[in-house]
Amino acid sequence: MLIIVVLACLSISTVHGQVYSPYVRKEGQIDTRTVRALASGVCQRAGAKTPREKAEAIWRFFLTDGRFVKPGFWYHIAGWAYEEPTGEVLDPVKLVNSYGFGLCYQIAPLLEAVWKAAGFEDARVWFLTGHTVTEVFYDGAYHYYDSDMMGYSTVGNGPAAKSRVASVRDLERNPKIILAKMLSPAKANPDLVDDPWYPADVRAGEIGGLAELFSTDKDNWLYAFRRHSSGHSMDFSLRPGEALVRYFRPEKPRLFYLPYAFDGAAWREFPREISEYQIRTEDGPHSQKDERLWGTGRLDYEPELSFNAQHAAVVSVASPYVIIDGAFSLRAALRSAADSVELATSSDGGKTWESCGSLAGSHDGIWRAEPEVLLRSEHGARTAISGLYGYLLRVSLRGAADVRDLKITTRFQLNPRTLPELESGANRLLYTSAPPVRRTELSIRLPGSPEVRNARWFEEAGQGFFIPSTTEPGAVTFEIASPDQAPLSGFEAGGRFLDLAGGMAPDKLTAEVRRTSAQLPRSSPLGELEWALAKEGPYRRLWSYTPEPRWLDGERISRLLRWPEVDERVDSVPAGTRRVFVRYCIAGLALDSVRIAVLTREAQPSSKLEITHIWREGGRERRHVETIRDASLRHPYTVDAGAGVTNEVVILRCPKEASR
């Protein structure tokens, strides 16, 4: 049976007057909504023109120690950028906007993505068994830069700026490229290196260990294809009665997204406390080098409810940022024991529901509820919506129950260094929005319930993938449509195809390598991503697997991890199309991490939008409210601020009268 990846037997009312991806940026601020915009902004700010200048500008922008770059966009911390079921976050858009921190195995694919978006012909990631690094290709060769450990090395004994930047293969063959930069075990030669040059390792006298990471090359593995996934977008719709509230710091103490990991038997908090370094989970994911913190925000929504014949109303919530938790309130009038109201959330498009609670009997007043708590632990709780980017809320009535004034609060986490930060003086800002296209990321939780032919789900210790059942190709097919059954304008589809040769598979807990007992039937490797307008076809190919990567420098490497991340987009389908079929074909390969989003064209927005900046000057609150009559138009404006500015919050609000 083919299960449709949409809401079944549920009606979601269409809201008119949305604002599509409203965005405020300060003049000169780097746009982080897409990797392409980020790459362009970094290079432009640095005045980088040549390939090497661009490569080094991007390397420097992501240095983990805020002493070397302003505003210290990224910092180093373990265990906090993790989302079940896929594990360690490797999506560059999520890493940049919801987190702003991570370890080497996260910054390496982020560098890969930004370099490619900057126009470089190639960038690639290496796993050195203990460290993950990235190379970028320019001037006919690969060059290795490390934002996590903060350094790169050049070949020869000339000044760094005039010498060729070494590749991973250079360092494998000749560790003296690194070692020769030292004047003593704990002092680098400033004439031969670009500051910063591995400052922590230099101070600790550990440069020899760094060189050994490369020179012990038998366990150095190259990710033969793109390492990062690209399934997430910062696109969202702001509806009448909805506000996006973003704080420059946590809204309240100990408010953060706390990741939990599932090992196949139990859930546990993912961050680990290390008393030696005074790393405590209750302190949240703060920088251990300086005062940089995470930020939090809220989506506040007061929808107009529309009940169906079953006396249920369903409201969708979509967040561009990772969700922490939520809260709900409504005014209920219940006259007798036969009257009741129940709230429930769904994380899988309405196939299953988790109750937030119910109210029955005589009642007239405000009722409050929260998403179901699935697990309480020492430092927080895992709720039915934690770690997601969207969910459904259902309001169900029985008897003569009457409800009104529903308020939905969804809390999320963000990187505050992406916000428009006011400074003393005249701050020039620009408001923009996106074309009226609604993008909905569908919840795909494998194994789920797609149509599966000649394939089976294999799982061990909470990690799994589809594998072919025989030597013949297997297929996993999804039927997809928009949540409200609106005609599609396009769709996005992606996933990770896995060559498990040598018994090696990706480890969601470390973003590195694990051993797997999975045995795939021997077959020539085949991987294809296809789509069709009907289940029986014909199918159109979007991508096919080629086992051998391109060797741009002419040097073939045999130590390969062939785990291509694939993301494809179809921007146009025939008018009136309400569903499409996406098929993943595998032989000799496994499949996991399926990603699907649908695109629908909406009516041209004409809503009003209010933008509120709140800050403090010497402890005194100041605010500026900018009203935009037509939120579909570009709108420049200026905010004047005095001395001693401390930024507090930026609010984008679509008032309810926008729908009238």
What is the set of domains in the chain, with CATH numbers?
A: 34-223 (3.10.620), 438-601 (2.60.120.260)
Percentage of the chain exceeding pLDDT 70: 97
pLDDT at residue number 329: 98
pLDDT at residue number 268: 96
**Do 485 and 11 contact (CB within 8 A), yes or no?**
no
pLDDT at residue number 71: 87
Q: pLDDT tens for residues 260-307?
A: 999 999 999 999 988 877 889 999 999 988 999 999 999 999 999 999
* Residue 615 C-alpha from the chain's centroid: 28
**Strand 402-414 relative to strand 390-398: parallel, antiparallel, unpaired?**
unpaired
Determine the average pLDDT of the residues in 336-356. 95
| Distance from C-alpha of 208 to C-alpha of 201, rounded to nearest angstrom | 9
pLDDT at residue number 70: 87
* Residues with Cβ within 8 Å of residue 174, at least 6 apart in sequence: none
pLDDT at residue number 23: 97
pLDDT at residue number 620: 95
- Per the listing, tokens 């409810």 go with 305
**Per DSSP, what are the bridge partners of residue 357?**
343
Is 658's pLDDT higher than 50? no
* Tokens, residue 163: 């010498």
**Do 626 and 611 contact (CB within 8 A), yes or no?**
yes
Question: Positive or negative, the Cα torsion across 159, 162, 164, 166?
Answer: positive
pLDDT band at 604 (very low <50, low <70, confident <90, very high): low
Q: pLDDT tens for residues 67-108?
A: 898 889 999 999 999 999 999 999 999 999 999 999 999 999
| Distance from C-alpha of 98 to C-alpha of 113, rounded to nearest angstrom | 17
| Distance from C-alpha of 170 to C-alpha of 81, rounded to nearest angstrom | 32
Q: Which helix (H) or strand (E) holds 54?
A: helix 51-61
| Distance from C-alpha of 461 to C-alpha of 505, rounded to nearest angstrom | 13
pLDDT at residue number 12: 58
Is 167's pLDDT higher than 70? yes
pLDDT at residue number 279: 86
Q: pLDDT tens for residues 545-596?
A: 999 999 999 999 999 999 999 999 999 999 999 999 999 999 999 999 999 9
Determine the average pLDDT of the residues in 249-270. 96
Is 606's pLDDT higher than 80? no
**Strand 455-460 relative to strand 463-468: parallel, antiparallel, unpaired?**
antiparallel
Across the beta sheet with 340-346, the strand order is 312-318, 390-398, 340-346, 354-360
User: In 10 A of CB 95, how many CB atoms?
Assistant: 24
pLDDT at residue number 289: 87
pTM value is 0.95
Nearest CA to 213 out of 317, 294, 130 is that of 130
| Distance from C-alpha of 496 to C-alpha of 591, rounded to nearest angstrom | 6
* Residues with Cβ within 8 Å of residue 516, at least 6 apart in sequence: 460, 500, 503, 504, 505
SS3 content of the chain, % helix, strand, coil (to 5): 15, 40, 45
pLDDT at residue number 565: 97
Is 6's pLDDT higher than 60? no
Q: pLDDT tens for residues 499-549?
A: 999 999 999 999 999 999 999 999 999 999 999 999 999 999 999 999 999
- How far is the CA of 379 from the CAs of 257, 268, 280, 382, in angstroms? 11, 11, 10, 10
Q: Mean pLDDT over all residues of the chain?
A: 94
Nearest CA to 395 out of 316, 456, 293 is that of 316
| Distance from C-alpha of 100 to C-alpha of 94, rounded to nearest angstrom | 9
Q: pLDDT tens for residues 363-373?
A: 999 999 999 99
**Do 143 and 152 contact (CB within 8 A), yes or no?**
yes
pLDDT band at 602 (very low <50, low <70, confident <90, very high): confident
* Residues with Cβ within 8 Å of residue 635, at least 6 apart in sequence: 430, 431, 432, 626, 628
Q: What is the DSSP string of 179-227?
A: HTTEEETTEE-TTTSPSSSSHHHHHTT-HHHHHHHHH-GGG-EEE-S--
Q: pLDDT tens for residues 175-221?
A: 999 999 999 999 999 999 999 999 999 999 999 999 999 999 999 99
Query: What is the DSSP secondary structure assignment for residue 155, as one 8-state letter?
Result: S
Query: What is the DSSP secondary structure assignment for residue 337, as one 8-state letter?
Result: T
pLDDT at residue number 607: 82
**Do 127 and 512 contact (CB within 8 A), yes or no?**
yes
* Tokens, residue 419: 């916000």
Q: pLDDT tens for residues 616-647?
A: 998 899 999 999 999 999 999 999 999 999 99
**Do 387 and 257 contact (CB within 8 A), yes or no?**
yes
Query: Which stretch of 226-235, 427-436, 476-485, 581-590 has the lowest confidence by average pLDDT?
Result: 476-485
* Strand, coil or helix: 638: strand
Percentage of the chain exceeding pLDDT 90: 90
Give the side-chain half-sphere CA count within 13 A for 170: 20
pLDDT at residue number 275: 80
Q: pLDDT tens for residues 33-57?
A: 999 999 999 999 999 999 999 999 9
| Distance from C-alpha of 559 to C-alpha of 571, rounded to nearest angstrom | 37
